[in-house]
Amino acid sequence: MKGIPPASGMAYMIYWTVHTVAKAMGASAAALNVEDLFILGWLIQAFLSMVFMMKWQRSGSIRVIVEQFLTPIYEEVSEKSKRLRQIHKDLMVVIVVNFIAVATIVIAEWVVYLRTRSADAIFEASPVLLRDIFHSFFLLYAQSVWHISLCIFIVVMKCMTLELGDFNGRFEHMLESHERKSSGIRRSEKKRISDRLLDAFVEHNKLADKVTKIDEIFRSYAFVMLMVGGAHTIFALISMIRQRSWIHLFFFIYDVCICMCHLFGVCISAAQVYVEYRIVKEHLQRHTQLWVDYDQKVYDIARMFIENAHSSSVGITIYGFTLITKSLILSCLARIIPYVLICLQLQMGTTYESWRNSNMTTD
């Protein structure tokens, strides 16, 4: 029950934002304010992140992540220090981005607040000031939870990618060592090659089980965050194009960058798992000297290896529908870029109409 009060607070924040937007639209006949939708998008993503955090805690997924992915790395620091350094590097990047995001929100909130209110009005309307401070603190808390959930996702994907990369390195080294001995190879050596290939095949399948377990934990998170994040990025781009002051433009450029980092951070970290799992196929096909002297058992195991890596559905999926691959990243770009071009064209058309009307009025 520990996660319910913060989530309830975020539900209140979403209600308050929707109420404010609806009230503003009812008070005037103006078009829908994209900036309000953008802020609402932040709150929805933060609320969903809290829901996923509670879900992972209640289902024991956090314990599984710590025991199966993080603890083994920290227990074998001497052998896997390089892997640990890479994880720490990615973790520090996420923490720095989180710190910059929170600091920017504080600056933006209070710059806008102080520019829209005089000093006397601020002290006269203390209830309004307290309400705004309360909302600002909740917004900061929401940003932190949003980045923590993203951090968990990226770190787990990085752990799995590095574990697969470690296996691929050892597997390629094994193939190269046997390839150097391939000329005039004896039957006993052939049996040794087939046995080691079979052991590697079994280990690769165990890694596939780990990837499947990760997918079961994060498939709904990836689905929701990609869908909401894609729409939110579009709103951020529209808001950035609509800005006319440099300070607002600066903050919205930053918001667009954060949205893009979140969107492609989810895609790229999951796509790396997909690529690393299937590299064994390239290793087997590239080391052709192993197949010069025909051996049925070696061929059968290698064929199973290649077919399993090629046709397997192992990877991080979007709610089980489709695998997250590099091609999906290109699809995300293909979906976002046309909206940006349309918005730019509409903005240029609006600017031209305003300029023409002002000239006609002057004349």
**Which among 47, 51, 33, 151 is positioned nearest to 101, based on CA atoms?**
151
**Which among 238, 99, 220, 90 is positioned nearest to 156, based on CA atoms?**
90
**Mean pLDDT calculated for residue range 63-71:** 78
The pLDDT score that the predictor gives to residue 176 is 78
The pLDDT score that the predictor gives to residue 119 is 46
Contact assessment for residue 86 and residue 242, using Cβ atoms and an 8 Å cutoff: no
The pLDDT score that the predictor gives to residue 111 is 62
How confident is the prediction for the chain on average, in pLDDT? Answer: 72
Domain ranges in the chain?
Answer: 4-349
The pLDDT score that the predictor gives to residue 285 is 78
Amino acid found at 91: L
Q: What digits encode the pLDDT tens for the residues 93-108?
A: 767 776 776 666 666 6
Q: What digits encode the pLDDT tens for the residues 210-232?
A: 898 999 999 889 888 888 877 77
CA distances from 110 to 30, 97, 135, 286 (A): 26, 20, 12, 59
Contact assessment for residue 151 and residue 79, using Cβ atoms and an 8 Å cutoff: no
The pLDDT score that the predictor gives to residue 102 is 64
Compute the distance between CA of residue 363 and CA of residue 358 in angstroms, rounded to an integer.
9
Please say if the pLDDT value at position 300 is more than 50. yes
pTM here?
A: 0.76
Chain centroid offset of residue 133 CA: 30
β-bridge mates for residue 323, sequence order: 317
Amino acid found at 167: F
Residue 29's pLDDT band, with cuts at 50, 70 and 90, is: very low
**Which among 312, 302, 307, 306 is positioned nearest to 197, based on CA atoms?**
302
Residue 89: CB atoms within 10 Å: 10
The pLDDT score that the predictor gives to residue 302 is 80
Please say if the pLDDT value at position 127 is more than 70. no
The pLDDT score that the predictor gives to residue 28 is 47
Please say if the pLDDT value at position 3 is more than 50. no
**Mean pLDDT calculated for residue range 158-163:** 86
